[in-house]
Copies of this chain bind each other. A is one copy, B any other.
Amino acid sequence: MSVGIRHDDLRRRNRAMVIAAVRRAGQPSRTEIAATTGLSHSTISAISSDLIGEGILVEGKPSEAGALKRGRPQVGLGLNPEAAAIMTVVLSLNFLSVAVIDYAGQVISEEQRRLDTLTMSREALIGECVAIVRRRLEDPDIDVRSVARIALAIQGITDTEARAMLWSPITPQTDIAFADILEAEFGIPATMENDCNMMAVALRWRDPERYRDDFIAILLSHGIGMGLVLKGELFTGTHSSGGEFGHMIHRPGGALCRCGRRGCVEAYAGNYAIWRNARQLGEDTEPVADVSDAQMRALATTARERAGPEREAYRKAGEALGYGLGSLFALIDPAPVAMVGVSAAAFDLIEPALREAIAQTAGGQHSKSISFDTEPNELPLIREGCAMRALTFVDQEIFAPGVQARGSAGKSVA
């Protein structure tokens, strides 16, 4: 039920606005902030003076170069790196990666670790996560009290509230409430995010020109994932992280998917599907557990060299992705697409069939104008998205308390 605006919400919202403006712009002057927020100079002056007093913002060095203009020089406002810190935890297939990041976004401590996620017990998996977080918190460089939030990301399905992993291809375990577990263990607020959603968040921060209000990030990896930003908001399902693009149905009753069903997009475009088709193993063959990046690259090389089952496998992948995107575009209209992950490096093999398929669909009417970008490396992107997500939570919840920003449901990316 919608609720009226209380008088004290006003300040909080405008504080949040100023912090957000600084985070976006880097070192904006008060005048610039006034311009972007539409608030008056007096208001910005009052708020920024508060924020500096609280140690959230700091005035930049006046020695900034290039201030050749006449008049009082602008003094840039920046985020105080010591105002807080956050932690990112990225859990992917056989790999756990943690970083501590200061309020200004710089990494101050990190650790990575190989695990056998597919065979680990529930307890072991949780234990490893807790242990690696604890080690980072015990790092002498880190002031534990400053760590204001932990953001986890995992490949798989999470709940809308960003509390739990519901299902993941990297482990047979299901329904682990990682956020609750870490909060109970360390007393630090935590969220559990979907990896592809974090990719989308990161793309938006990296290149706001290109990835602004509407775009799609597709992970082409062992499975197929998607992060979707629509009208400037991260799109999530009503109960889960949603956007399970890989499990849209491409061919009813078709190839066997890792999820146990048949005909999903992933069953044609996931690494294991490309592998299976390249080896001509037949669509009913049980998906293999893992195909290494090196193997996939070798496959792509072969496909580029000569016609044959490898090339055909990539063609089928492109076709499935194309029809899937076409159906998606029927619902949301076309938008720029970023292809991320190891198979994005083979996008040249995928693109022709993809474009041909998409042109057969309602959403592909302007197939030519749909632009694709590729980024073979998903991990840095996920980490970055987690960091920005956690930092904007701190911005909103801790430094401008009272403004609702629960979970990840439909919340602004910026």
Task: Render A317-346 as a binary contact track against B, CB cut-off 8 A, 1 for contact.
Answer: 001000100111011111100000000000
Q: Are A362 and B10 in contact (CB under 8 A)?
A: no
- In the complex the two chains form, what is the Cα distance from A158 to B56 in whole Å? 46
- Expressed in whole angstroms, the minimum distance between the Cβ of A11 and any Cβ of chain B is 10
> What is the oligomeric copy number?
2
A32 at the interface (CB under 8 A from B): no
A37 CB contacts on chain B under 8 angstroms: 2-4
Q: Are A38 and B245 in contact (CB under 8 A)?
A: no
- In the complex the two chains form, what is the Cα distance from A179 to B374 in whole Å? 40
- In the complex the two chains form, what is the Cα distance from A266 to B217 in whole Å? 28
- Expressed in whole angstroms, the minimum distance between the Cβ of A232 and any Cβ of chain B is 9
Using known A-B contacts A10-B10, A238-B332, A252-B323, determine if residue A2 contacts B414 with beta carbons closer than 8 Å: yes
Task: Render A233-252 as a binary contact track against B, CB cut-off 8 A, 1 for contact.
Answer: 00001111011110111111
Q: Are A249 and B332 in contact (CB under 8 A)?
A: no
Interface residues of A in 351-386 (CB under 8 A from B): 357, 360-363
Q: Are B244 and A331 in contact (CB under 8 A)?
A: yes
Contact pick for A7, options B1, B10, B335, CB 8 Å: B10
- Expressed in whole angstroms, the minimum distance between the Cβ of A249 and any Cβ of chain B is 5
A335 CB contacts on chain B under 8 angstroms: 238
Q: Are A247 and B362 in contact (CB under 8 A)?
A: yes
- Expressed in whole angstroms, the minimum distance between the Cβ of A169 and any Cβ of chain B is 13
Q: Are B333 and A239 in contact (CB under 8 A)?
A: yes
Q: Are B412 and A331 in contact (CB under 8 A)?
A: no
A60 at the interface (CB under 8 A from B): no
A213 at the interface (CB under 8 A from B): yes
Q: Are A238 and B230 in contact (CB under 8 A)?
A: yes
Q: Are B14 and A10 in contact (CB under 8 A)?
A: no
Using known A-B contacts A230-B238, A261-B362, A362-B259, determine if residue A331 contacts B2 with beta carbons closer than 8 Å: no
A39 at the interface (CB under 8 A from B): yes
A297 at the interface (CB under 8 A from B): no
A263 CB contacts on chain B under 8 angstroms: 360
A264 at the interface (CB under 8 A from B): yes
- In the complex the two chains form, what is the Cα distance from A32 to B412 in whole Å? 32
A85 at the interface (CB under 8 A from B): no
Task: Render A6-49 as a binary contact track against B, CB cut-off 8 A, 1 for contact.
Answer: 11001001100100100000000000000011110001000000
A262 at the interface (CB under 8 A from B): yes
A210 at the interface (CB under 8 A from B): no
Q: Are A38 and B4 in contact (CB under 8 A)?
A: yes
A410 at the interface (CB under 8 A from B): yes
Q: Are A410 and B2 in contact (CB under 8 A)?
A: no
Q: Offer 10 A-B interface pairs, CB within 8 angstroms, sorted by A.
A: A2-B412, A3-B38, A4-B39, A6-B39, A7-B10, A214-B238, A231-B238, A237-B332, A244-B331, A248-B330
- Given contacts A4-B39, A213-B238, 20 further A-B pairs with CB under 8 A are A3-B37, A5-B5, A5-B10, A230-B238, A231-B410, A237-B333, A239-B334, A242-B331, A242-B333, A243-B331, A244-B362, A247-B330, A248-B330, A249-B326, A251-B252, A252-B319, A252-B357, A259-B362, A262-B360, A328-B331
What is the interface of chain A, defined by CB distance below 8 A to chain B?
1-7, 10, 13-14, 17, 20, 36-39, 43, 213-214, 230-231, 237-240, 242-245, 247-253, 259, 261-264, 319, 323, 326-328, 330-335, 357, 360-363, 409-410, 412, 414
Task: Identify the 7 closest CB pairs spanning chains A and B, nearest first.
Answer: A247-B362, A237-B333, A4-B39, A248-B327, A4-B37, A244-B330, A214-B238
